[in-house]
Amino acid sequence: MIERTHRIRDLPERALVLGCVLAMSAIIALVTFMLVREHSSATHAAIRASSNVVQLIANEVQRNIDLYDASLQGLIETSQNPDFASIPTRLQHTLLFGKATGAPLRGDLLWINAQGNIVADSQADPPRKANLAGWPEFRAHREHADSGLIVSRPFQDQIGSLGWCISLSRRIASSSGQFLGVASGALRLDYFNTLFKSLNIGSDSSVSLISDEGFMLAREPLSIGDAAAGADYRHRGNFLAIMAAGTSGSFVAVSGSDKKERLYTFARVGQLPMIVVVAVSTEVVYGAWRRTALLVCAATGGLCLGILWLGALLRRELKKRQRAERKLATLAATDSLTGLPNRRQLDMTLHREWLRAQRTHKPLSVLMIDVDDFKAFNERHGHQGGDDALRAVANTLRNCTHRPADLAARYGGEEFLVILAETNPDGARNIAETIRLAVAQQIVPGSPQLSVTVSIGVAPTTLTGPDSMEGLLAEADAALYRAKHNGRNQVACGRSPALELSPS
C-alpha cells in the first residue's frame, strides 16, 4: 500500500520528466531527420558529379583504346593481304601505319613475327632491333588462338623513350589459324595524366586509372609519397572494396596513402581491364553541411538546455513536497525503535509474497524470531539495555537478509519476523542458523558486556504445508515455541521436528 502510494505521489514528477524528455526527443528527432536528409542530398549530389567525371574519362579512355585497336586490326589486315609482299618496300611502311599516322596516337605500333622479332615499326624505318618472344602477351597470343585484344600491365618502354606505357596487342594468324606473329601498340600513360589535369574536382581529391589487377596506370594530382604509374595496389583495402563492389559504385573510406577520408566513385571502362576512380575529399563533399549541422546542433542544444533548466526548477519544487510526504510515509511504515519495517508493512509484504508464491508455485518461508529471556534481561539491565539489545538484533537481521524481496520486520515486543521469498526449507534453515549464530556472537552496542540469544521457528510452504497465510504464521509460531521449549538459542522447523538444529 505504501509503495503504491509512493508511485501515485511520483506521478507528477514522472509526468514532468516524461514531458521534458518527449519535447527534447521530438526536437532532436526533427533536427536529426533534417540533417540526415541534407547529408544524404550532399552525398547523392557528390556521387552524381563524380559519376559524370568517371563516365567522361571512361569514354575518353575507351575512344583511345578503340583507335589503337582499329590501327592494330588495320596493320593485321594489310600484312595479310596477298599483294602486300609485291608492294615496293618504300610504300609498305605507309600502308601498314597509315591509320596510325592519321590518328591521334600517343605511342607506337609494332609488327612482330612468329620468332618475336620486330618486322615493322611505326616509329622507325628500318625498324628497331629487339626480340619480344619473352613478352608475356606474346606468349599468350602464341599459345591461345582466341586470345583477342590483350591489354598489358604498365611497363617502362625498353626500346624507345615513351616512358610508362601499356600495350595493346592482337594475334596475327594465317587463314588456317597458324600463328604468324603479333600486332602491338604501346600507349603512353602520360596522356591520361594530361587529360586528368584538365579536370577540377576540388582540393585534396584525385582521379585515377587503375588496372583490374591492381596496378596504377595514371593519377592526378599526386600527393607527397604517392607512387605514379606501375604502383601495386593489389592488397590495398580500397582496391579490394572496388573489386568486390562490381562494375561501378561509390563508398566512403580512408585513403591508405594519407589516411584522409574520401568519397570513392568508380566504374569499369567498358569491357577493358581498367577502372576509373574519382576520390573526392569528404571535406569538399560535406564541408557546407558540417558548418550548417554545427550551427543547428548548437541552437538545438541551447533549446534543450533551456527545457532542462525549466524542468529542473519544477522538479525541484515537486521533490521538496514529495520528500516531505515520503518522510511521513516512511515514519508510518517503520518501527521507531529498531528502524525495521513495522507490523503494518510486514502484513502488506507477507500478503503480497503469499499471493505470488501461490501464483508461481515457488516456495515461501518465514522465520519467527524471539529474543530469549528478554523480560528477565530487561529487568536486569533496564529499559535502555533492552532497547539496545533489540536494536542489535534488528541490525543483525538487516545484515543477514540481502535479497530485495526478503524482509525483516518487528513483529511485536521482542519478536521479529523474516520473510524469505522463493526460499526452500533447506535454504530457510541455513539462513535461520546464520542469524542465530550472528546474534549470539554480537555484542550489544552501548553495553559492551552484554549479549543476547534468539530462538527461531522456521515455516516453509511445501506440498504438505499450510494452505493459508495465517496457517503459515501459526506453523512458524509453533516451531518457535518448540525451539524455546527445547532449551532456547536454537532453530526449529515447522512440521519437521527431526530436522531441528541444535545450538552450536
Return the SS3 of 458: strand
- For the record, the C-alpha cell of 313 comes out as 526548477
Q: What torsion do the CA atoms of 297, 301, 304, 306 make, to the nearest 10 degrees?
A: -140
Contacts of 230 (CB under 8 A, 6+ apart): 154, 155, 156, 164, 215, 216
Domains of the chain: 1-333 (3.30.450.20), 343-499 (3.30.70.270)
pLDDT tens track, the chain, 504 positions: 444 444 555 667 778 788 888 998 999 999 999 999 999 999 999 999 999 999 999 998 898 888 888 889 988 888 888 888 788 877 877 788 875 544 445 678 899 999 999 998 888 888 889 899 999 999 999 999 888 999 999 988 888 888 888 999 999 998 888 999 999 988 888 888 888 887 777 777 889 999 999 999 988 886 545 556 788 888 888 899 999 988 899 999 988 777 888 999 999 998 899 999 999 988 888 989 999 999 999 999 999 898 888 888 888 887 887 777 777 777 677 888 888 998 888 888 899 999 998 888 889 999 999 999 888 888 888 888 888 889 999 999 998 888 888 999 998 889 999 999 989 999 999 999 999 999 988 877 665 567 789 999 999 986 556 678 888 999 999 999 999 999 999 999 876 443 344 444
Find the farthest-apart pair of alpha carbons in the chain and give their distance in angstroms, rounded: 144
CB 182 within 8 Å of CB 141:
yes
- For the record, the C-alpha cell of 327 comes out as 518522510
C-alpha to C-alpha distances, 3 to 8, 225, 320, nearest whole angstrom: 9, 70, 19
C-alpha to C-alpha distances, 391 to 223, 341, 451, 457, nearest whole angstrom: 80, 13, 12, 20
- Rounded Cα distance, 427 and 460, in Å: 10
- Rounded Cα distance, 216 and 199, in Å: 19
**Angle made by CA atoms 297, 300, 304, in degrees to the nearest 5:** 135
Give the closest residue to 500 by CA, choosing from 432, 447, 406, 438: 432
Dihedral of alpha carbons 331, 335, 338, 340, sign: negative
